[in-house]
Amino acid sequence: MGSVGLLKNSAMVCAPLMATSVDQLIDEMVEAKSQGADCVEIRLDAIHNFQPHKHLQLLFKNKPLPILILYRPIWERNDFEADAHKQLEALRLAKELGADYVELDLKIASEFAKNEKSSWSSGCKLITSCFVDNVTSKEDLSQVVASMQSTGADILKIVINANDITELEKTFHLLSHCQVPLIAYSVGERGLISQLLGPKFGSVLLYGSLDGNAVPGLPSLASLRQAYGVDLMDNDTKVFGLISKPVGHSKGPILHNPTFRHVGYNGIYVPMFVDDLKEFFRVYSSPDFAGFSVGIPYKEAVVSFCDEVDPLAESIGAVNTIIRRPCDGKLIGYNTDCEASITAIEDALKANGEALVPCSLARKMFVLVGAGGAGRALAFGAKSRGARIVIFDIDFDRAKALAAAVSGEALPFEKLASFQPEKGAILANATPIGMHPNKDRIPVPEGSLKDYVVVFDAVYTPRRTTLLEDAEAAGALIVSGVEMFLRQAIGQFNLFTGSKAPEEFMRDIVMSKF
């Protein structure tokens, strides 16, 4: 295992402030510091009735953290009346009065640099920035870097528009090869990992939002520090990611990252919003990307991208864990959902006093709603314990295919409303119905819940779904998807790191933070 020390990279975490008055900005600076920011970014053009001397002096006098000052250029804002001259004046003043960093757009930076940079004696650093809308090649980016460098900037900053996670690889390549201090990232949900992994590839700064200032694709300061532990990342950090769409609901990062740190494993676990699996695996093929969890809707589709598939996952036809075998780089697929879900149900029954001899699920009717990746894992698990499986799915062919594989019975989805299970039946939801943010929905008619002795929900956000609440009210023993989530993650951790997961530590996180 790689050893983890303190502060393995020198990247600063910067909080972009959103307030529009100087008083509020001062409050936000204090808050940013308490939430773990190393510096703050202040946009002068966002301050109402901006009075350069007065406001800058006030800000710098009260700063608890280094300040990065920028003034968005006129061509990006319709409601902005100042001209380029005004911007330059404000930034010049900011530099003189005590800004730690001044950011200038490439379009005006050359002019500024020509007149200013040679006589630049203050400790203020110049950041030249550029927004790149359409990156066609790595060479394109190198050219942008060259023209930014010619402005004499101390730090370069490139924000790249990315429509797909695979486009971020060019950013990582640029960061790894750039000889000058560079900040590079993409915005939006699909750009998130460029922020999170920036320090691994050498970015000198990454952004984190203050609590309450959430912006899509911008991690919060708290998550950067507490979940991701970005200070500890270095070039050797192994990247693990959850391939899913959507992906924002996952609690994987707040479970896996602290666990990596707990055992001293040099790894980071990030959400990966993937649109195109084929392109994803083609682009992220380096050993840096050491393993993946697989979520909705890709558990079945990823099977064909694995070079080898573990026999259990193969028979289920769904993979939720992939590791890149270090010796040959091959992708090996596993399924940790199956045992996780079935043991969660069995243990709940056991704790409830049911005899486990020969097996609590044996010969019981197991009603499964949803025949996708998670449903397949549940069905195979239930079959391995001798249950009799009845399957519903809106896609009847999919239900029939799974029923055939587990010697069960598929029924048309319309029959679910009037379906009468036999006494002692177990209900399992393996659809995303009820998952945050659509929390009020349940996959079966509420009236039918009284017929089940056990109700399991694979959805784990929220912890107590409406289905579970209703089932409990109807008298059933309920089993939360959180239990399955924890167990499948323990299985994944073992595969990712090659060593035994600290199960109690993981359980404590799940109990206290979910």
Ligand X SMILES: O=C1C[C@@](O)(C(=O)O)C[C@@H](O)[C@@H]1O
Q: Which residues are catalytic?
A: 299
The yes or no reply on residue 293 touching ligand X (CB under 6 A) is yes
Complete edge-to-edge strand list for the sheet that includes strand 67-70: 182-185, 155-160, 125-132, 101-105, 67-70, 39-43, 12-16, 205-207
Structure tokens, 66:
């280094």
Query: For ligand X, which residue of 194, 213, 244, 257 counts as binding (CB under 6 A)?
Result: 244
- Please report which residue ranges of 336-390 form alpha helices under DSSP H: 337-351, 373-384
The yes or no reply on residue 31 touching ligand X (CB under 6 A) is no
The yes or no reply on residue 252 touching ligand X (CB under 6 A) is yes
The count of chain residues that interact with ligand X, using the rule CB under 6 A, is: 11
CA dist., res. 478 & res. 442, Å (int) = 14
Structure tokens, 45:
């053009």
Classify burial at 494, counting beta carbons within 10 Å of its beta carbon; exposed 0-12, middle 13-18, buried 19 or more. middle
The yes or no reply on residue 466 touching ligand X (CB under 6 A) is no
The yes or no reply on residue 274 touching ligand X (CB under 6 A) is no
Supply the Cα-derived Rg of the chain in whole angstroms: 27
Q: How crowded is residue 329: how many other Cβ atoms within 10 Å of its Cβ?
A: 11
Q: Secondary structure of the chain: what % helix, strand, coil (to 5)?
A: 45, 20, 40
Query: For ligand X, which residue of 250, 266, 448, 465 counts as binding (CB under 6 A)?
Result: 250
CB of residue 434 to ligand X, shortest distance in Å:
14
Nearer to ligand X, 266 or 321 (CB): 321
Subset of 468-497 contacting ligand X (CB under 6 A)? 485, 488
Q: What are phi and psi of 172, to 5 degrees?
A: -65, -40
Question: Phi-psi category of 193—alpha, beta or left, where left has phi over 0 and alpha has psi -120 to 50?
Answer: alpha
Q: What are phi and psi of 60, to 5 degrees?
A: -70, -30
DSSP secondary structure letters along 464-493: S-HHHHHHHHTT-EEE-HHHHHHHHHHHHH
CB of residue 375 to ligand X, shortest distance in Å:
11
Nearer to ligand X, 153 or 242 (CB): 242
CB of residue 199 to ligand X, shortest distance in Å:
23
Where does this chain touch ligand X (CB under 6 A) — which range of 242-250, 283-291, 378-386, 437-445? 242-250
CB of residue 159 to ligand X, shortest distance in Å:
28
The yes or no reply on residue 257 touching ligand X (CB under 6 A) is no
Nearer to ligand X, 149 or 226 (CB): 226
The yes or no reply on residue 313 touching ligand X (CB under 6 A) is no
CB of residue 295 to ligand X, shortest distance in Å:
3
CB of residue 64 to ligand X, shortest distance in Å:
36
Nearer to ligand X, 244 or 480 (CB): 244
The yes or no reply on residue 320 touching ligand X (CB under 6 A) is yes
Distance of CA 204 to the CA centre of its chain: 21
The yes or no reply on residue 374 touching ligand X (CB under 6 A) is yes
Nearer to ligand X, 217 or 295 (CB): 295
Residue 289 contacts by C-beta under 8 Å, 6 or more apart in sequence? 239, 241, 324
CA dist., res. 400 & res. 369, Å (int) = 12
Nearer to ligand X, 400 or 487 (CB): 487
Summarize as ranges the residues that interact with ligand X (CB under 6 A): 242, 244, 250, 252, 293, 295, 320, 337, 374, 485, 488
